[in-house]
């Protein structure tokens, strides 16, 4: 079966004070249905720029300089802005790092969920209300009817991220792009969100493109992994390839610098 | 500098409490019990890891120890002297011995001072040594934290995050403190840089005998350099013990859940292994902590007694005296697991 998303030789550059500079160089990977591909890298490696380029939401001084982004076989780079608007939200759902900052503070969560449904579905008002309740229930928010009337500041970070996942999944997208979705959350809440994403992936059968700096999260989520550094892909492979048989020195270094839980802690000695 | 006392811990914190928003009877705002009855000690050259999730009171505890926050009640004894009664002037002198390193190095540095000036500033403020000696001390400190000489004239925006944290650590070391409170010192850094900063802190401790109160939400980092660990939940220490003891056999259900929630790279190889305890819901608000055991609303093992009676932090039968937990049923749960 053809992959949902196939990125081929994608390059991106930005116009800066120093002139035009290419910052992402020939990145290629593909995301299969029902699978998770993780892009892992340190800050400045270009992992978020790749996902912005796929979604067509690069900063104004940035543009794609080469390659193709095939979503269900069609090249997104040839789409007009209007066509992209229907793809974002309907074909591809998005979740970002800062959940409370991603919600509009002056509208209720229900209104924001219904807005997505107005834009992308032909449900009537009652249908939208029903679907909104169903979505909040699906992401594990207690008392969904009541919570629809709440504002962003009345949610904790973990609950707000659930709302954003509900919004991203409102139109049953084929692909979910999640850019560091648990980085701002506590570990016990992160565990809840990762479990939720894995459950929904199986239920809905979508593909996930998951961006993170944390190899521990990669280990729990990924089927396939792309390691990036300085705008280039260093290594691509299955989870076993990357964790058991890493080929590149950088991947090995990255794995070695991860704090291991099976390492012994230091022992205190008087007057050490 | 005072001679370290041979007997007794360097730092003894007893019954520390910090409530916010109280004191005004007309106030409609609820009292936030950020820190509730925290007791621990720290020896010279020792690292105590203080871990917990956001809002558990770990940073407030650290801030009280360096005098940035006044305790509501409780005692903080440093070399046997109570710090809570110190005036602002006395605190200034005391800060030579007690330093703090924050999470975001770029915002902890003065954007208008060069790296050398930042590190030198404490010496100027405390009038330590002749000006020429101060320059030599700065050079030595930069070497100690492996900052290349050329960086000396750069400004904070011209250096990387890892380098900036080294500058902050060098500046904290300038006055030769005996205790540094490290509040999430590596959380904003990339893993490869994290590993280097942690190694630097350990090396400095071995060489200078400085103690650290290492505050972090990241249990993986805490394990790398802590001799002992205390776990906080809603303002209280719920478990305390030697690092390996606590990680290998956690006694409190919260510690168990916290440890099992860590995304571990070993999971790449044993997927579908349902060892994980996923806690339901969010931590309750510190403005309205649950009655009884604070953890009972999320505890998978909670019983009737937990709803009414707050457990004490106590040594658990069959464990060493160093290992304590705040749970009525720690013995039973240990047998069950």
The pLDDT of residue A44? 87
Nearest Cα of chain B lies from the Cα of A173 at a distance, in angstroms, of 26
Edge-to-edge strand order for the sheet containing A232-238? A74-75, A62-71, A5-16, A19-31, A232-238, A224-229, A36-40, A207-212, A175-179, A92-95
Query: Is B27 part of any domain?
Result: yes
Query: 10 Å Cβ neighbour count for B204?
Result: 19
User: How many Cβ atoms are within 10 Å of B235's Cβ, its own excluded?
Assistant: 26
Look at B263 and A217 and tell me if their CB atoms are within 8 Å: yes
Instruction: Match 């719920």 to its residue by tokens.
Output: B238
- Flag whether B143 is in a domain: no
Tell me which residue of B205, B204, B248, B198 sits closest to B224, measured CA to CA: B198
Radius of gyration of chain B (CA): 21
> What was the pLDDT predicted at B26?
52
CA atoms within 13 A on the CB side of B300: 13
User: From CA A117, how far away is CA A127, in angstroms rounded?
Assistant: 9
Q: Answer for the pair A141, A159: CB distance below 8 angstroms, yes or no.
A: yes
Measured between alpha carbons, how far apart are the two ends of chain A, in Å?
Answer: 62
pLDDT along chain B (337 residues), means of 10: 61 94 62 92 96 92 93 94 88 91 92 95 91 92 91 93 92 94 90 88 93 94 95 96 94 93 78 69 85 94 95 89 94 77
What are the structure tokens assigned to A93, written together? 């759902």
Residue B48 lies in a domain: yes
- Whether the CB-CB separation of B47 and B72 falls below 8 Å is answered with no
Find which of A44, A265, A268 to mutate to test the B interface (most B CBs within 10 Å of its CB).
Answer: A265
Give the pair of three-digit tokens for residue A98: 């800062």
Report the residue from B190, B195, B260 with minimal CB separation from A43. B190
Q: How far are the Cα atoms of B39, B118, B151, B160, B170 from residue B156, in angstroms, in the given order?
A: 37, 9, 10, 8, 14
- Compare CB distances from B268 to A142, A239, A253 and report the shortest one's residue: A239
| Chain A residues touching B223 at Cβ < 8 A | 259, 261, 263, 265
Cβ contact, residue pair A188, B46, below 8 Å: no
What is the DSSP code (8-state) at residue B297? T
Provide ipTM, 2 decimals. Answer: 0.82
Closest CA to B337 of B274, B235, B249, B276: B249
Give A256→chain B minimum CA distance, Å: 9
Q: Compute the distance between CA of residue A145 and CA of residue A157 in angstroms, rounded to an integer.
A: 20
pLDDT score at B1:
43
User: Phi and psi (nearest 5°) for A197?
Assistant: -65, -40
Q: Which domain holds residue B291?
A: 11-97+177-336
Of B192, B202, B279, which is closest to A254 when you measure between CB atoms? B192
CATH class for the region spanning A5-257: alpha beta
Contacts of A156 in chain B (CB under 8 A): 282
Q: Which two tokens stand for residue B154?
A: 């750069």
The Cα of A188 is separated from the nearest Cα of chain B by a number of Å equal to 5
Domain ranges of chain A: 5-257
Pairwise CA distance, residues B51 & B188, whole Å: 16
Is residue B245 included in any domain, yes or no? yes
Within a domain: B68: yes
Size of interface A-B (CB pairs under 8 A): 140
Polymer length in residues for chain A: 272
Q: What is the pLDDT of residue A269?
A: 79
- Asked if A189's CB is within 8 angstroms of B220's CB, the reply is no
**Looking at the domain assignment, is residue B264 inside a domain?**
yes
> Taking CB atoms and an 8 Å limit, are B53 and A187 in contact across chains?
yes
Q: What pLDDT sits at residue B273?
A: 57
Of the residues B243, B254, B265, B279, the best mutation for testing chain A's interface (the one with the most A CB atoms within 10 Å of its CB) is B265
Do B116 and B152 meet the contact criterion of CB atoms below 8 Å apart? yes
Q: How far is A44 from chain B (nearest CA, A)?
A: 10
Contact across the interface for A192 and B278, Cβ inside 8 Å: yes
Cβ atoms within 10 Å, residue B284:
17
CA distance A180 to A197: 13
Cβ B53–A258 below 8 Å, yes or no? Answer: no
Q: State which H helix or E strand residue B83 sits in.
A: none
The CATH number linked to B85 is: 3.40.50.300
Q: Which two structure tokens, joined as six digits, stand for B302?
A: 């909670």
List of residues 6+ apart from A35 with CB closer than 8 A = A207, A208, A223, A224
Residues (pLDDT < 50) of chain A are: 272
Residue A106, both tokens: 């002056």
Token output for B228:
């002992």
Residue B5: the pLDDT is 47
């Amino acid at each position: 079966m053809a992959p949902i998303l196939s990125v081929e030789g994608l390059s991106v550059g930005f116009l800066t004070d120093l002139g035009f500079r290419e910052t992402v160089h020939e990145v290629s990977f593909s995301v299969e249905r029902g699978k998770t591909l993780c892009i892992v890298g340190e800050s400045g490696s270009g992992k978020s720029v790749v996902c912005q380029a796929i979604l067509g939401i690069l900063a104004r001084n940035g543009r794609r300089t080469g390659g193709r982004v095939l979503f269900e076989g069609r090249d997104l780079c040839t789409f007009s802005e209007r066509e992209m608007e229907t793809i974002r939200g309907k074909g591809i759902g998005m979740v970002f790092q800062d959940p409370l900052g991603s919600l509009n503070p002056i509208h209720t969560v229900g209104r924001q969920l219904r807005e997505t449904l107005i834009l992308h579905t032909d449900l009537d008002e009652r249908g939208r209300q029903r679907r909104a309740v169903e979505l909040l229930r699906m992401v594990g928010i207690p008392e969904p009817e009541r919570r629809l009337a709440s504002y962003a500041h009345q949610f904790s970070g973990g609950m707000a991220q659930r709302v954003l996942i509900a919004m991203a999944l409102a139109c049953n997208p084929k692909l979910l792009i999640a850019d560091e979705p648990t980085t701002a959350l506590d570990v016990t809440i992160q565990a809840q969100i990762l479990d939720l994403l894995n459950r929904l992936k199986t239920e809905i059968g979508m593909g996930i493109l998951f961006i993170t700096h944390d190899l521990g999260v990669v280990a729990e989520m990924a089927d396939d992994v792309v390691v990036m550094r300085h705008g280039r892909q260093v290594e691509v492979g299955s989870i076993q390839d990357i964790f058991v048989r890493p080929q590149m020195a950088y991947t090995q270094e990255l794995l070695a610098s991860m704090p291991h839980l099976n390492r012994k802690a230091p022992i205190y000695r008087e007057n050490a | 500098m005072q001679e370290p006392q041979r007997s007794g811990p360097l730092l003894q914190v007893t019954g520390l409490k910090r409530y916010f928003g109280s004191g005004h009877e007309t106030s409609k705002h609820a009292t936030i019990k950020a820190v509730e009855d925290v007791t621990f000690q720290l020896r010279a050259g020792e690292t105590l890891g203080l871990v917990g999730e956001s809002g558990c009171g770990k940073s407030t505890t650290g801030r009280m120890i360096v005098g940035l926050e006044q305790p509501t009640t409780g005692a903080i004894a440093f070399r046997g002297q109570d710090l809570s009664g110190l005036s602002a002037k006395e605190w200034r002198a005391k800060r030579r011995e007690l330093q703090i390193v924050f999470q975001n190095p770029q915002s902890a540095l003065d954007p208008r001072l060069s790296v050398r000036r930042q590190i030198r500033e404490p010496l100027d403020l405390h009038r330590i040594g002749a000006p020429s000696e101060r320059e030599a001390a700065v050079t030595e400190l930069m070497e100690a934290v492996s900052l290349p000489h050329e960086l000396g004239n750069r400004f904070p925006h011209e250096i990387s995050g890892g380098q900036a944290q080294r500058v902050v650590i060098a500046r904290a070391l300038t006055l030769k403190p005996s205790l540094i409170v490290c509040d999430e010192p590596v959380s904003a850094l990339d893993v490869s840089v994290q590993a280097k900063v942690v190694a630097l802190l350990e090396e400095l401790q071995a060489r200078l005998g400085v103690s650290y109160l290492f505050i972090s939400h990241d249990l993986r980092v805490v394990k790398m350099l802590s001799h002992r660990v205390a776990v906080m939940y809603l303002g209280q220490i719920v478990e305390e013990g030697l690092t390996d003891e606590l990680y290998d056999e956690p006694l409190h259900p919260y510690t168990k859940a916290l440890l099992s929630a860590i995304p571990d790279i070993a999971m790449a190889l044993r997927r579908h292994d349902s060892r994980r305890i996923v806690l339901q819901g969010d931590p309750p608000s510190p403005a309205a902590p649950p009655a009884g055991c604070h953890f009972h609303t999320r505890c998978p093992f909670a019983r009737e007694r937990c709803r009414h009676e707050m457990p004490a932090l106590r040594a658990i039968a069959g464990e060493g005296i160093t290992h304590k937990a705040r749970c009525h049923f720690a013995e039973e749960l240990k047998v069950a697991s």
